[in-house]
């Protein structure tokens, strides 16, 4: 069932979901949720008050310590997650419509994102009953390790692909036995709020999952600083991540942070030309490049640079833009008009510094596009690697193409970044490709490939974050280790004292 922007508010029962019930936010200054296709208001949401945030954390703490949650077997938590996945699949079209209206991502992509979110839930449902410890024989003693949940986990969700980025942390954390308080972005909160309906229908115990809305400066801050929160999941920009990390440092609260990226794409001489063109096109412009793992810096041998960029620009210029709910649309609007203006300012600055725009570079104003935040795929050449546009994360479809003579030169430039989330290599020489993968300062390297999935651990080096989502690594993130040592013989005192 698709929904229109005008009918979407009816699918969202209220502003918050706390302790098993929907509530109206009592915080100050309601905020507008806007459709980026035409910048029309979809609805207004009242944010949570500080008291409601505290109540949500307290509810999650009570739920974690309740007999119904603490005595629940891992496989039973898995059954809850699996039931949730099936409900999400049942409402795939509804959630895809909500995501497209809220974020501007084309529905052909949001359908895939909702299906992937269900896969996350199913994957971690299967792991929920498989959390294992270790055993060591120490002679007169033995030691075993227990992997135990932290307790209440606060999750702060970004505005780009919010459902998918929420479910990946949520699924792993719940599979490990934690309870949750989730705060979606004020820019795109609607799919996460709708998710509360599925949590309720799936039969999650009261208080085990809570959702609060509002700005990061108030609601997010109150949540991170809640005395019962034992770990924080944050996905977002580097500056905001530093603020969260600073807050968590005061309470010694551990974090999982996925922050920014400025992904390098290294193209070698040994490539399948058409495959590499299509691959770079996807890595640079999929989902409007409003993803931290987008490839935004392209390094091509000087002898190949001009024909490669020309072919890439020709294809990029033909990507259909339009209404995200139209199945023919392949590139939607940026999430906000503010983001569009900021990116256009970066492009203008690069042009003043000598950059050449090979395609795109200005707001799209064609039929049906003028009211939206549309930026066509943009490729810049005559770039030096020290330019701001080549160093800062723009979070939009702008690709900087830079030539190189020696591969070591390209590798040095690729690693010359404060980020290290995703890197891409196009090379059909197996030895060279794996040598590059080992040398790249990046948490994820994709060789002749693109995209991550539930089984692939995902996270960054350097300023791109702390910890890993997905795969077995995520199960380590959301459990803490308790070491238990047991004596097998009579204990011998360390003190030589008279017998009593």
DSSP 409-453: HHHHHHH-SSEESEEEEE-S-HHHHHHHHHHS--SEEEES-----
Q: Is the pTM of this model over 0.85?
A: yes
Instruction: Determine which one of 35, 160, 323, 444 is catalytic.
Output: 160
Catalytic residue among 248, 292, 359, 427: 292
Say how many C-beta atoms besides its own lie within 10 A of residue 28's C-beta: 11
Catalytic residue among 99, 225, 469, 477: 469
Cα atoms found within 13 Å of the Cα of residue 301, Cβ hemisphere only: 12
pLDDT averaged per 10 residues, the chain (length 500): 66 86 94 95 95 98 96 97 98 97 96 97 97 93 96 97 97 98 97 97 98 96 97 96 94 96 97 97 97 97 98 97 96 95 97 97 90 97 96 97 97 98 98 98 98 93 96 96 95 85
Query: 489: helix, coil or strand?
Result: coil
CATH numbers and ranges of domains, the chain: 8-259+464-484 (3.40.605.10), 263-447 (3.40.309.10)
Point out the catalytic residue in the list 122, 225, 258, 290: 258
Catalytic residue flag (residue 122): no
The H-assigned helical ranges of 203-301 are 221-224, 238-251, 273-285
269 is catalytic: no
The answer to whether residue 160 is catalytic is: yes
Q: Is 428 a catalytic residue?
A: no
pLDDT computed for residue 367 by the predictor: 83
- Separation between Cα atoms, residue 40 and residue 300, nearest integer Å: 41
Instruction: Give pLDDT, residue 498.
Output: 86
């Amino acid at each position: 069932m698709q929904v229109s922007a005008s009918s979407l508010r009816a699918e969202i029962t209220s502003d918050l979901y706390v302790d098993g019930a929907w509530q109206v936010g009592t915080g100050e200054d309601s905020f507008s949720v806007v459709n980026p296709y035409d910048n029309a208001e979809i609805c207004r949401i009242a944010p949570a008050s500080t008291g409601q945030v505290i109540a949500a954390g307290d509810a999650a703490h009570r739920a974690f310590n309740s007999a119904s949650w603490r005595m629940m077997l891992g496989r039973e938590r898995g059954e809850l997650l699996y039931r949730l996945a099936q409900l999400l699949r049942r409402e795939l079209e509804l959630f895809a419509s909500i995501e497209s209206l809220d974020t501007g991502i084309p529905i052909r992509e949001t359908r895939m994102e909702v299906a992937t979110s269900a896969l996350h839930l199913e994957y971690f449902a299967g792991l929920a009953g498989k959390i294992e410890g270790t055993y060591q024989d120490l002679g007169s003693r033995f030691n075993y390790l227990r992997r135990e949940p932290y307790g209440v986990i606060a999750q702060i969700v970004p505005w780009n692909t919010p459902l998918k980025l929420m479910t990946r942390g949520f699924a792993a954390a719940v599979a490990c036995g934690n309870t949750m308080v989730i705060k979606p972005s004020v820019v795109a909160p609607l799919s996460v709020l709708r998710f509360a309906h599925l949590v309720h229908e799936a039969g999650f115990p009261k208080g085990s999952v809570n959702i609060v809305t509002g700005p990061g400066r108030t609601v997010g801050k109150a949540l991170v600083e809640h005395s019962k929160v034992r770990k924080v999941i944050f996905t977002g920009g580097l500056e905001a991540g530093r603020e969260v990390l600073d807050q968590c440092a005061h309470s010694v609260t551990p974090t999982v942070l996925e922050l920014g990226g400025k992904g390098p794409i290294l193209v070698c001489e040994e490539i399948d030309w058409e495959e590499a063109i299509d691959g770079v096109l996807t890595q640079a412009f999929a989902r409007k490049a409003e993803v931290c793992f987008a490839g935004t810096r392209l390094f091509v041998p000087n002898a190949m640079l001009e024909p490669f960029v020309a072919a890439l620009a020709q294809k990029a210029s033909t990507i259909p833009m339009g209404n995200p709910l139209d199945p023919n649309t392949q590139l939607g609007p940026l999430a906000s008009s503010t983001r569009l203006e900021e990116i256009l300012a970066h492009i203008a600055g690069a042009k003043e510094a000598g950059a050449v725009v090979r395609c795109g570079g200005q707001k799209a104003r064609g039929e049906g596009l003028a009211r939206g935040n549309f930026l066509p795929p943009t490729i810049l050449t005559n770039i030096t690697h020290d330019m701001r546009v080549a160093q800062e994360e723009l979070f939009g479809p702008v690709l900087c193409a830079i030539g190189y003579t020696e591969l070591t030169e390209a590798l040095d430039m690729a690693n010359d970044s404060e980020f290290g989330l995703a890197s891409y290599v196009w090379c059909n020489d197996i030895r060279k490709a794996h040598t590059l993968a080992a040398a790249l300062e990046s948490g994820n390297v994709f060789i002749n490939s693109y995209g991550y999935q539930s089984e692939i651990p995902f996270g960054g080096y350097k300023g791109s974050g702390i910890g890993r989502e997905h795969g077995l690594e995520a199960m380590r993130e959301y459990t803490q280790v308790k070491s238990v040592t047991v004596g097998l013989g009579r204990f011998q005192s360390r003190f030589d004292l008279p017998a009593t």
